[in-house]
Amino acid sequence: MKRAPSATDASATLPHGCTNLRLRQLTRRVTQHYDAQMAAAGLKTTQYSLLTAVLGMGPARPADLAAALKMDPSTLTRNLKPLIAAGWVETSSGSDARSRAVSITDAGRAKRSEAQRHWKAAQQSLNQTLGVPRVLALHALIQDSLALLAPGEAAESDA
């Protein structure tokens, strides 16, 4: 005969520690892994992701770019500055006098192409280290969590 779970049984199945801290630790470790590969292209992972988003969205309003990246507009502006200074991204007048558009330059396309090889190497290395089934499970858990934390918002896909 099976006994009913006690209060101590239930507490053994509850998460211990701070989920935010654990996620930040994982994010830092994964970022370090990618940044080590991306350094060979002279980029940080965040810069590669931003170049990829600008390339994919074409000329885009900064607000649309920030929304797509789930980023504050001020953070986007700060992250764009070194890409603009390097000549990889440019801003121009938008559809009206008050708006701006962000687009990738030819030099930015070349830099992104160079960096993509390093990003792929980082991804393959992570897949090997963690195992493809674990990476797939992690992706699914992230997508589900994003959907639950921001209902009505479509979760964005890969860089």
pLDDT in tens, the chain (159 residues): 556 655 555 556 888 889 999 999 999 999 999 999 999 999 999 999 999 999 999 899 999 999 999 899 999 999 999 999 999 999 988 777 677 899 999 999 999 999 999 999 999 999 999 999 999 999 999 999 988 988 665 444 444
In whole angstroms, what is the distance from residue 34 CA to residue 39 CA? 9
Structure pTM?
0.77
Structure tokens at 1: 């005969």
Give long-range contacts, CB 8 A cutoff, 24+ apart: 69-73.
69/156, 70/156
Residue type, 37: Q
In whole angstroms, what is the distance from residue 22 CA to residue 28 CA? 10
pLDDT of residue 109: 96
Count of all residues that appear for the chain in the document: 159
